[in-house]
Amino acid sequence: MSRKRKSSQQRPEYQISIPERNEIKSFLQDCKAPRNLKHIAGALRVETAAGQDALDKRLKAMLRDGEIIKNRRDGYGLIDKMDLIAGRVIGHHEGYGFLRPDSGDEDIFLPAREMRSLLHGDRAIVRLDGQDRRGRTTGALVEVLDRAHTRIIGRYFHEHHFGYVVPDNKRIHQDIFVPSEGQGKAKSGQFVVVEITRQPDKHTQPVGKIVEILVEDNESNLVADIAVRAYDLPHTWPDSVATEIARLDPEARVDSKDREDFRNLPFVTIDGEDARDFDDAVYCEKTEDGWRLLVAIADVSHYVKMHTALDQEAELRGTSVYFPQRVVPMLPEVLSNELCSLKPAVDRLVLVCELTINQKGKVKHRRFTPGVIRSAARMTYTEVAGIVVDKDKLLQKQYQHLVNQFRDLFELYQLMHTRRRKLGLLDFDATESKLQFDELGNIVRIYPMHRNDAHRLIEEFMLAANIAAADFLLENKTPILFRNHEPPGVEKLTEVRKFLGEFGLELAGGDEPEAKHYAELIEKVRERDDAHLIETVLLRSMRLAFYGEQNLGHFGLAFAAYTHFTSPIRRYPDLLVHRAIKYLLTQKKKREFAYTMEDMHRLGESCSMTERRAEEASREVLQRMKCIFMRDKIGEVYTGTVSSVTGFGLFVDLDDVYIEGLVHVTSLPADYYHFDAIGHRLRGERTGRTFRLANRLKVKVVRVDAEDRKIDFELVESKT
């Protein structure tokens, strides 16, 4: 766990004019040897004492950021000119690690002796040190640039008059020694947060003191608490945020000429049964030439202003984090669940995207405007599908005043969805699992969450609004964050084509296939017995989406430009997009937009990081809870599908409980198994027996370890 990073809005500013970082690096590039502060100041004409003081601070900041290095004679130089490499340390539970270079080059192996001074996540500089017996490039530690952890969560143990904490993160391979004065009231076996008072070096392990003891009334809450601290998720609100919240106007005032009144229209929100914040509402009506669709999104930017404590905290969090029984929100609940939530029968401020759509489902015109609505109903996906798809008489009677509106929404959705399918809609059939708890917080069952047409309806309308926002801001050349998804890389495409060739299949599109080519292949194999196998391989060839200031398009959605506009309550990029749209609508003539492309570059990296952090934390909590659920299932037999193949075994997804576990290669029938990465299979050398992705297997649960997040299976018999 690390201290909260400072918001970009708190970056230090130098009042005295001094050389920029690039100017300093350019000078050092031309030097034949490292130069000290005096030499650098003289060469760059920094003559005053105050100027040299400021230059010294800038050099130290560059040193901290790994842009330069300082030798024992106080000389500064460029890292690459001194045959040094800076990067992030990736730890391994067995004690060794790797340096992942900032340049993106191949990882450098760090033997256990070098890792004694390092912890997973640290930034460091290493010197290349040759190769080990396995041919891996090795590195020797030169300097630690930045420590990733000031606090670590783990389990505390007390033995023979001394205490230590075993980190919950298995990549942190060193235990933290806790002297008697730092143990507090912790008991052996408890989960604690330990503050590191002395970082490790080559002679001593890290030392710390216990600053928090985690005690919960049930394991589910404890698991969430552990993840919050392990992933350094900001979860408490500064006093400055509470002060700003108290000043907010709870009334949705509509007396401004810049805000349009839509309260006469029957907008509805459609969400899951357990949703608590409602940030989008929809309404549509037929016109002579087609349709008018209104997508109303909570006007969070009206309440969360730039440079406020609220804004700084929202940027720091980046996104809301969802656990099975808990949410760590991006915004305080008075905003997310009250002032900004589009609850029924109350006035709420919104930013409306109005789309004019022709009879073929194509958007012909768009308009954005600040507005105010009064939602007519809070609907669930199940209810709306019941009314329109299942023709449920009781539901139709209960919502008879809205039935025609739901029918219109569905008719428009089908029109737009059909058009998008023709253009190349990628529709992977992924199943998410949910946990059901009893009153005490114990897991009762794990069940699949199926998407119905009401889910797809909202998804279709949100996509349309997001595209409209991207196009609008792109045309006006306003700095924003695009949601980018690049095409699969050449290496992945080559592997996919080799795999498909074994089935007599081909992916069209040559070296640059489009989403429609993937969609055509998925449609072609849909009725085959091995469709799931082929679909899984195609899905895994995709890159991850990310936020960036440059528009790179969205491959998976087949959009030339895409952004996130529809969820400003829970995603910071959406809030930035709202600010940009409102600037264009109301502020363009008064002042320049507050954000630059440089700001967006930094925010893109930050928001991509917080998104990954949230996903990893949520995934870990879910996996840990699934392990807890399976602890009393040891010895039970299940049928499942091979979901992944590795050199060390098969991961199997169980049918009935939606749990994934490992069949280790050593527990397979006796043979020497060879791993075929392209074919996604293990093949026995002697018997020729093959296990591959999507095989059906019968397995027995043999081991469950919640702390390691591992479930082990043993093969009972093959189903195919």
Q: Is the pLDDT of residue 720 over 60?
A: no
The residue count for the chain:
720
Query: Among the listed ranges 243-252, 318-327, 413-422, which one has the minimum average pLDDT value?
Result: 243-252
Of the pLDDT bands very low, low, confident and very high (cuts 50, 70, 90), residue 675 is very high
614 pLDDT more than 60? yes
Residue range 447-502, pLDDT digits in tens? 988 889 999 999 999 999 999 999 999 999 999 999 999 999 888 999 999 989 88
Coil/strand/helix, residue 656: coil
Mean pLDDT of the chain: 90
Residues whose CB is less than 8 angstroms from the CB of residue 72 and which lie 6 or more positions away in sequence, other chains included: none
CA–CA separation, 295 and 367 (whole Å): 11
pLDDT tier, 383 (very low <50, low <70, confident <90, very high otherwise): very high
Q: Are 83-146 and 151-215 in the same CATH fold?
A: yes
108-110 and 97-101 as β-strands: parallel, antiparallel, unpaired? antiparallel
Report whether pLDDT(5) > 70. no
pLDDT of residue 31: 82
- Band of residue 89 on the pLDDT scale cut at 50, 70, 90: very high
Confidence of residue 429 (pLDDT cuts 50, 70, 90): low
pLDDT band at residue 4 under the 50/70/90 scheme: very low
Q: Residue 551's closest CA among 489, 492, 467, 491? A: 467
CA nearest to 515, candidates 524, 504, 507: 507
Q: Which two tokens stand for residue 31?
A: 């030097």
Q: How far is 158 from 148, CA to CA, in rounded Å?
A: 26
Question: Confidence band (pLDDT; 50, 70, 90) for 589?
Answer: low
For residue range 210-231, list pLDDT tens digits in order.
999 998 778 888 999 999 999 9
On the CB side of 637, CA atoms within 13 Å amount to: 6
In the structure, what pLDDT confidence band is assigned to residue 278 with cuts at 50, 70 and 90?
very high
Closest by Cα among 420, 405, 409, 408 to 362:
420
Residue 252 pLDDT class (50, 70, 90 cuts): low
pLDDT for 99 equals: 94
Where residue 276 falls among pLDDT bands split at 50, 70, 90? confident
pLDDT one-digit tens code per residue, 40-86:
988 888 888 888 888 988 988 888 777 888 876 788 888 776 678 88
pLDDT of 282? 98
Sign of the CA dihedral with 472 first, then 476, 477, and 478 last? negative
Query: Which CATH class, in words, describes the domain spanning 8-80?
Result: mainly alpha
- Residue 89: closest CA among 146, 5, 4, 165: 146
Confidence at 9, pLDDT banded by 50, 70, 90: very low
Please, which pLDDT band fits residue 254 given cuts at 50, 70 and 90? low
Which residues make Cβ contacts (< 8 Å) with residue 472, sequence separation at least 6?
Answer: 366, 368, 581, 584
pLDDT tens digits along 499-541: 898 888 999 988 889 999 998 999 898 888 888 888 888 988 9
Q: How far is CA 566 from the centre of its chain?
A: 17
Euclidean distance between CA atoms 54 and 24, whole angstroms: 13
- Per-residue confidence (pLDDT) for residue 104, from 0 to 100: 78
Number of Cβ atoms within 10 Å of the Cβ of 683: 17
Q: How confident is the model at residue 591 (pLDDT cuts 50, 70, 90)?
A: low
Say if residue 8's pLDDT is above 50. Answer: no
Domain boundaries, the chain: 8-80, 83-146, 151-215, 239-479+564-615, 634-718
Tell me which fold the domain 83-146 belongs to: OB fold (Dihydrolipoamide Acetyltransferase, E2P) (2.40.50)
**What is the structure's pLDDT at 75?**
83
Structural class in CATH, domain 151-215 = mainly beta
Higher pLDDT, 540 or 254: 540
The band of 3, judged by pLDDT with boundaries at 50, 70 and 90, is very low
* Cβ-contact 165, 175 below 8 angstroms: yes
Query: b vs e for 335-372, b when ≥16 Cβ sit within 10 Å of the residue's Cβ?
Result: bbbebbbbbbeebbbbbbbbbbbeeebebeebebbbbb
Q: Per-residue confidence at 718, pLDDT binned at 50, 70, 90?
A: low
The fold adopted by the segment(s) 634-718 is: OB fold (Dihydrolipoamide Acetyltransferase, E2P) (2.40.50)
Predicted local distance difference test score (pLDDT) of residue 590: 52
Q: Which token pair is 591?
A: 């002042």
Contact in structure between 698 and 638 (CB atoms under 8 Å): yes
